[in-house]
């Protein structure tokens, strides 16, 4: 079984996204967005290959969009797979952000 770990920065990204969602669209939408994020984390924990490499500068980094059919979302989970069976979530970024800049 894969173990999913979130870096401190990823935890802050998640908290910021949910706080923004709550301020902008209310508690109910923030709860729904949290559930959508949780489902995305479960998906990559079950099958880390679902993510796609998109950055030539970081070939070991995979991206997975949180959005699902009928459930729009603008965030991307940025992660890498570490042996043995560890999925390290590096960031959870808005899709309009410059990924290279935020991966340092």
Strand-strand pairing, 75-82 and 3-6: unpaired
Instruction: Judge residue 98's burial from the number of C-beta atoms within 10 Å of its C-beta, 0-12 exposed, 13-18 middle, 19 or more buried.
Output: exposed
Average the pLDDT over 50-55 and give the result.
83
Answer yes or no: is pLDDT of 46 > 90. yes
Per-residue confidence (pLDDT) for residue 95, from 0 to 100: 74
Bridge partners of 86, per DSSP, are 3, 82
How far is Cα 29 from Cα 45, in angstroms, rounded to an integer? Answer: 24
100 pLDDT tier (thresholds 50, 70, 90): low
* This prediction's pTM: 0.87
Domains of the chain plus CATH, in order, are 3-103 (3.30.2310.20)
Given a contact cutoff of 8 angstroms between Cβ atoms, the answer to whether 99 and 16 are in contact is no
């Amino acid at each position: 079984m894969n173990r999913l770990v979130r870096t401190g920065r990823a935890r802050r990204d998640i908290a910021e996204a949910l706080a923004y969602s709550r301020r902008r669209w209310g508690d109910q939408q923030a709860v729904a967005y949290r559930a959508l994020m949780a489902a995305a984390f479960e998906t990559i924990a079950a099958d880390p290959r679902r993510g796609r490499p998109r950055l030539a500068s970081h070939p070991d980094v995979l991206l997975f969009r949180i959005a699902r059919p009928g459930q729009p979302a603008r965030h991307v989970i940025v992660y890498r797979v570490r042996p043995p069976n560890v999925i390290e979530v590096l960031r959870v970024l808005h899709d309009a952000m410059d990924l290279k800049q935020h991966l340092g």
